């Protein structure tokens, strides 16, 4: 059996008519940048998410940068973020001119450890950029309270947590703004780069929209200098088409995670993901911690199963942060980078395939015993 890490082709096959039609319409209307399809997706996403403003932009990295720039974060400021994430969350802090400060993650949910955050706050701290990694939200209530009590912004990186929730409220609706990526492999993915900002703050929404479009809401009427980070029409139309299926796909991911847990639960060398109480984990990734992780990954590959690591280096271990390393003590993130393994996860994965992956993992440890 061959099991890829994700299979976007299968998903396309299942909704081929919707996608082909969406693309045909955009081309027929020459609505390539901005325009009705972008407006429609923004309003579709706003409705489904229950948020006032959705600002489409070029990708889920720009969306973080735009939010922070428009909140006035810049040189001399510090922003606290998780040590275990994709580099976008820290590189965009640097891009504003501010300094990323890495906080460790916890060893159960692998998300920003709220007990380690408060000690990092000082008079330069302007925001906490939380990352809801793998599809699971951080302890967002505690983090929001910390932000409120210090008068700093809470910004949410939701690139891996579309429709994840805590106490019935979606990721991205807890702080001043949420940032989404629609990179093809994300739970809601375009057919190229795409992203958006969500917020209930009118003024911030307006500023973000302005900045993402050369500082102009109306052509040639530049109010400020901005950047070019627009959602294109093809991606917007594809996203609107796919948005109709997101609930189904998320349910399938949750079901698959249940199967993995059922089939792997008796393997002592494997630690399964924990789901936070009162929360919905949308399993962008299904991440286990495994003894002899690298050997296991090689063995899976030999047997046709493509596993992956998110991420092989915690952010403070990456070259660009060499100078910061001594000041950033993140033992849990350092430990996780050696043990975590992401197993194949996509809505179309079949029960027999999940069983096959689990059987390979079991036979690996039996053969090593
Ligand atoms: C994917 C991702 C991003 C960036 O998204 P792009 O659209 O690829 O720029 C940011 N943060 C996290 C946590 C991500 O997983």
pLDDT tens digits along 124-166? 999 999 999 999 999 999 999 999 999 999 999 999 999 999 9
Distance, in Å, from the CA atom of 193 to the CA atom of 184, rounded to the nearest integer, reads 7
* Whether the predicted pLDDT of 309 surpasses 70: yes
Find out whether 135 and 161 touch, Cβ atoms under 8 Å.
yes
Per DSSP, the three-state class of 329 is: coil
* Cα torsion through 300, 366, 106, 301, rounded to 10: -10
Confidence label for 327 from pLDDT (cuts 50, 70 and 90): low
The number of beta carbons lying within 10 Å of the beta carbon of residue 336 is 22
What is the pLDDT at residue 324?
Answer: 76
pTM metric for this prediction: 0.97
Give the torsion sign (CA, 341, 14, 252, 44). positive
The number of beta carbons lying within 10 Å of the beta carbon of residue 17 is 9
- What's the 88 CA to ligand 1 centre distance in angstroms? 6
Percent of the chain with pLDDT over 90: 96
What would be the CATH architecture of the domain defined by 246-368? Alpha-Beta Complex (3.90)
- What's the 28 CA to ligand 1 centre distance in angstroms? 31
What is the pLDDT at residue 171?
Answer: 98
Distance, in Å, from the CA atom of 164 to the CA atom of 122, rounded to the nearest integer, reads 30
Topology classification of domain 8-243: 3.40.640
Average pLDDT, the chain: 96
Q: Is 59 in the pocket of ligand 1 (CB under 6 A)?
A: yes
Q: Is 321 in the pocket of ligand 1 (CB under 6 A)?
A: no
What is the pLDDT at residue 368?
Answer: 76
What is the pLDDT at residue 302?
Answer: 97
Confidence label for 322 from pLDDT (cuts 50, 70 and 90): confident
User: Which residues make up the CATH 3.90.1150.10 domain(s) of the chain?
Assistant: 246-368
Cα-flanking dihedrals φ and ψ of residue 352, to 5°? -65, -25
- What's the 250 CA to ligand 1 centre distance in angstroms? 19
Least confident of 36-45, 182-191, 273-282, 329-338: 329-338
Q: Is 131 in the pocket of ligand 1 (CB under 6 A)?
A: yes
DSSP run (H or E) holding 209:
helix 202-212
Q: What is the mean pLDDT of residues 337-345?
A: 97
User: Which residues make up the CATH 3.40.640.10 domain(s) of the chain?
Assistant: 8-243
Distance, in Å, from the CA atom of 361 to the CA atom of 290, rounded to the nearest integer, reads 10
- What's the 83 CA to ligand 1 centre distance in angstroms? 15
Distance, in Å, from the CA atom of 156 to the CA atom of 71, rounded to the nearest integer, reads 13
């Amino acid at each position: 059996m061959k099991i890829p890490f994700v299979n976007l082709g299968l998903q396309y096959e299942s909704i081929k008519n919707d996608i082909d039609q969406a693309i045909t319409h955009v081309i027929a209307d020459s609505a390539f940048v901005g325009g009705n399809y972008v407006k429609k997706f923004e309003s579709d996403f706003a409705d489904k998410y229950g948020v006032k403003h959705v600002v489409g932009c070029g990708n889920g990295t720009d969306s973080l940068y735009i939010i922070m720039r428009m909140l006035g974060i810049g040189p001399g400021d510090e922003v606290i973020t998780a040590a275990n994430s994709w580099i976008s969350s820290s590189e965009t802090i640097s891009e504003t001119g501010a300094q990323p400060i890495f906080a460790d993650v916890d060893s159960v949910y692998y998300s920003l450890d709220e007990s380690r955050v408060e000690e990092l706050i000082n008079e330069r701290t302007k925001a906490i950029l939380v990352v809801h990694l793998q599809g699971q939200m951080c302890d967002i209530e505690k983090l929001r309270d910390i932000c409120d009590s210090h008068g700093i912004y809470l910004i949410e990186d939701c690139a891996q947590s579309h429709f994840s929730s805590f106490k019935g409220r979606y990721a991205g609706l807890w702080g001043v703004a949420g940032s989404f990526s629609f990179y093809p492999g994300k739970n809601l993915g375009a057919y190229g780069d795409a992203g958006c900002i969500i917020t209930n703050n009118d003024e911030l929404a307006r500023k973000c929209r302005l900045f993402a479009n050369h500082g102009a809401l109306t052509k040639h009427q530049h109010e400020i200098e901005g950047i070019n980070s627009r959602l294109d029409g093809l991606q917007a139309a594809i996203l609107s088409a796919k948005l109709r299926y997101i609930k189904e796909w998320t349910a399938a991911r949750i079901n698959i995670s249940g199967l993995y847990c059922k089939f792997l639960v008796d393997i002592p060398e494997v630690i399964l993901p924990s789901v936070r109480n009162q929360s919905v984990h949308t399993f962008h990734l299904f991440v286990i911690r495994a003894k002899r992780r690298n050997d296991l990954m090689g063995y899976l590959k030999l047997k046709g199963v493509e596993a992956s690591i998110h991420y092989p280096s915690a952010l403070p271990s990456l070259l660009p942060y060499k100078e910061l390393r001594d000041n950033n003590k993140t033992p849990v993130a350092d430990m996780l980078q050696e043990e975590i393994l992401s197993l194949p996860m996509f809505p179309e994965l079949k029960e027999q395939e999940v069983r096959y992956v689990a059987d390979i993992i079991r036979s690996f440890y039996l053969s090593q015993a």
